Structure formats: structure tokens, C-alpha cells
């Protein structure tokens, strides 16, 4: 029988505080559904409790959680067709209308552009790290970032980002 690592309440709370926003943004980017994203974040955190070894570093922790959340999100999408909710229910309701337009356009992008852009611009991963997380070559990630920027610009009516 596998040995299960014992987590203290403080360990779990600290991990949650460090990673919940990142996990939520990633899960929402896949599902585009508030409730599904929240459920997937919870499932991801439950998977941590099943780990038998501690994380080697905070970077290892974040990478493991991102890959786990990505896989759970993809599996979820295979099982269930999700309904989209209005952007106001998801984002912190940007006050600037141009910011709202950018957020709305971002969520219209194809997944293959949206996820790398989220990881690059919001989470701060470089193209090599994104390649590892998404199982893609760094050159593919760079191409998807470029195409995603162009698609976003077109959705915004040619406005430069």
C-alpha cells in the first residue's frame, strides 16, 4: 500500500493561499464556467493530499499543480459540455470599458492561444516552462503567443495591445 504524506492544516492553508488564484484562472480558462473552475481547483487540491512525497521546491509545487489542474480540466471537458457564464461573474469587474473589452476578447480566443497567453502574461512563465507544462516545444509556444496576440488585436478591432 502506498504511503500517504501527512499534511497539517497550516500546510494546506499556506499552499491554498499561494496557488488558488493561479489554479482558478487556469481552470476557468479551460472551462469558462465559474462553478466548474471552482470544483476543479478543489479537485486539484485534493490530489495534493494523495501525494506520497513532498514537493522539491515552490516551483515544483506550482508546476505540479498546474499540470494536474490542466489534466483535470481537460478530462472534465471531455465528460461534460459546459455553459458559459457572463464575464462579470468571473472577473473582478474591471471598471474601465476597454479593460472589459480585452478580458471579453481574451476569453474568445481559441484554447491553444488562450492558455499559453495566460501562463505567459498573467502567471509569468517563460516559453520553455510553458512548453514543459503543456507538452509543447518552446518554438510552438512562441508561435501560439504571437498568433494569440494577433487574434486578440483583431477581436479588439485592430487596437494595439
Assess whether pLDDT exceeds 60 at residue 21.
Answer: yes
Is the pLDDT at 88 greater than 60? The verdict is no
Q: Are 39 and 72 in contact (CB under 8 A)?
A: no
- Helix, strand, coil share (%) of the chain residues, nearest 5: 70, 0, 30
Task: Tell me the pLDDT tens digit for each residue of 52-65.
Answer: 888 999 999 999 99
Task: Answer with the residue of higher pLDDT: 84 or 46.
Answer: 46
10 Å CB burial of residue 133 (0-12, 13-18, 19+) is buried
pLDDT at 80: 67
- Residue 152, pLDDT > 80, answer yes
Residue 1 pLDDT level (bands cut at 50, 70, 90): very low
Predicted local confidence at residue 136, as pLDDT? 92
Give residue 102's pLDDT.
Answer: 78
Please tell me the predicted confidence (pLDDT) of residue 15. 92
Work out the percent of the chain whose per-residue pLDDT is above 90.
48
What pLDDT, in 10s, does the model give residues 91-143?
444 455 667 777 888 888 998 999 999 888 888 889 999 999 889 999 999 99
Domains and CATH numbers, the chain: 1-85 (1.10.1740), 92-161 (1.10.10.10)
The pLDDT score that the predictor gives to residue 93 is: 47
Tell me how far apart the alpha carbons of residues 78 and 72 are, in angstroms, rounded to a whole number: 10
Residue 33 backbone phi and psi in degrees, to 5: -140, 125
This prediction's pTM: 0.63
pLDDT at 90 over 70: no
The mean predicted confidence, pLDDT, of the chain is 83
Amino acid at each position: 500500500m502506498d504511503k500517504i504524506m501527512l499534511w497539517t492544516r497550516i500546510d494546506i492553508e499556506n499552499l491554498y493561499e499561494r496557488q488558488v488564484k493561479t489554479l482558478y484562472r487556469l481552470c476557468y480558462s479551460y472551462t469558462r464556467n465559474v462553478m466548474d473552475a471552482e470544483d476543479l481547483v478543489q479537485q486539484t487540491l485534493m490530489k495534493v493530499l494523495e501525494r506520497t512525497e513532498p514537493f522539491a521546491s515552490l516551483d515544483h509545487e506550482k508546476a505540479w499543480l498546474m499540470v494536474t489542474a490542466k489534466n483535470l480540466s481537460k478530462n472534465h471537458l471531455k465528460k461534460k459540455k459546459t455553459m458559459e457564464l457572463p464575464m462579470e461573474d468571473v472577473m473582478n469587474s474591471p471598471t474601465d470599458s476597454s479593460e472589459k473589452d480585452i478580458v471579453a476578447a481574451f476569453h474568445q480566443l481559441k484554447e491553444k492561444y488562450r492558455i499559453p497567453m495566460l501562463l505567459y502574461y498573467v502567471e509569468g512563465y517563460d516559453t520553455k516552462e510553458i512548453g514543459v507544462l503543456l507538452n509543447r516545444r518552446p518554438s510552438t509556444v512562441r508561435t501560439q503567443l504571437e498568433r494569440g496576440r494577433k487574434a486578440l488585436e483583431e477581436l479588439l478591432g485592430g487596437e494595439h495591445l
